[in-house]
Amino acid sequence: MKYLITGGTGLIGKALINSIDTQKSTITVLTRNIEKASLLLNKEIKVIDELLLSDVENIDIIINLAGEPLAEKRWSQEQKLKICESRWDVTEKLVHLISIANTPPVLFISGSAIGMYGRQANKPVDESFSHYHKEFTHVVCSRWEQIALEASSSKTRVAILRTGVVLDKNSGALSKMLLPFKLGFGGKIGKGDQFMSWIHIQDMVSAILYIIDTKTLNGPVNITSPRAVTNELFSKALAKELHRPCLFNTPPALLKLMFGEMADLLLFGQNVVPQKLITSGFRFKHTELADALNDLLE
């Protein structure tokens, strides 16, 4: 199997690459920094910093995970543009090359996020839900998905990963939460009733591999645990796992002052159901948050 992966040095990309047998498959990674990627990735992996038609011809599967992290910096207009262009531009380039390739990939998997739904109340939403809340995350994901779906054809199946909060102790949201919770300063954000749709990194990778093998899965696919929890319950579970109290409460006004519009990521959420994965028979290894945290932090 021949893979082309963008975003291969990110949280999901690295975990995915580590799960692919390089004895049986070849992997090419598109990156902005060849030197950094070469240090992070297995030496057997080919690293490129420019996309050519030859990179897409005869590739079996393209997995597009590239994108500036949403929660790394305050959302200035410059940062918003960076977030959008880092996703849209590479996806447009891939779709164009797929469209002109004599032998296009049989599968194009492209990233997205549950931010597609925008902020929602506590009612569960699945892939059939379309009453989106029109805010920045929806704008980013909507255009991203629209571009990717243009690659769909009789030769190329397209699947969109609507990813939730990916839990990993070394990177991502959980790793940033660990220090304050370990110091005993952990607690809920705002009222704490906003839902967090999470997924263990192991299930995240397994879901991608499952999509590869399951030819009936296409279009948007929610990649979250079947059991989302509120921010308050998440905070209590994390504090319990670390044997620390969960007493503090971060006021919304403070978050707005610190992060501006980006604070909405923490103050609002979605109760997302991975209905397509469930219906197709995918088996999650970690459906309960306490089990997932214990596995990651034991």
Using the predicted structure, report yes or no on whether residue 42 has a pLDDT greater than 80.
no
Using the predicted structure, report yes or no on whether residue 275 has a pLDDT greater than 80.
yes
Residue 78: inside a domain, yes or no?
yes
Range of the domain at 139: 2-166+200-224
**The pTM is what?**
0.95
Residue 284: inside a domain, yes or no?
no
Question: Would you call 163 helix, strand, or coil by DSSP?
Answer: strand
Residue 276: inside a domain, yes or no?
no
- CATH classification of the domain holding 19: 3.40.50.720
Please report where in the chains the tokens 């590869």 appear, as a residue: 212
Using the predicted structure, report yes or no on whether residue 298 has a pLDDT greater than 90.
no
- Give pLDDT, residue 38: 84
Residue 64: inside a domain, yes or no?
yes
Q: Give how many domains the chain has, as a whole number.
A: 1
Residue 260: inside a domain, yes or no?
no
How are beta strands 248-250 and 187-189 bridged, if at all? parallel
Copy the structure tokens of residue 148: 């990717």
Residue % of the chain over a pLDDT of 90:
92
**Quick one: pLDDT band at residue 21, thresholds 50, 70, 90?**
confident
Residue 38: inside a domain, yes or no?
yes
Residue 9: inside a domain, yes or no?
yes
**Quick one: pLDDT band at residue 72, thresholds 50, 70, 90?**
confident
Residue 190: inside a domain, yes or no?
no
**Listed residue (180, 219, 172) closest to 198, CA to CA:** 172
Task: Count the helix, strand and coil residues of the chain and give each as a percent rounded to the nearest 5.
Answer: 45, 20, 40
Which whole number is the average pLDDT over 52-81?
94
Q: What is the pLDDT of residues 247-270, one digit of tens each?
A: 999 999 999 999 999 999 999 999
**Quick one: pLDDT band at residue 58, thresholds 50, 70, 90?**
confident
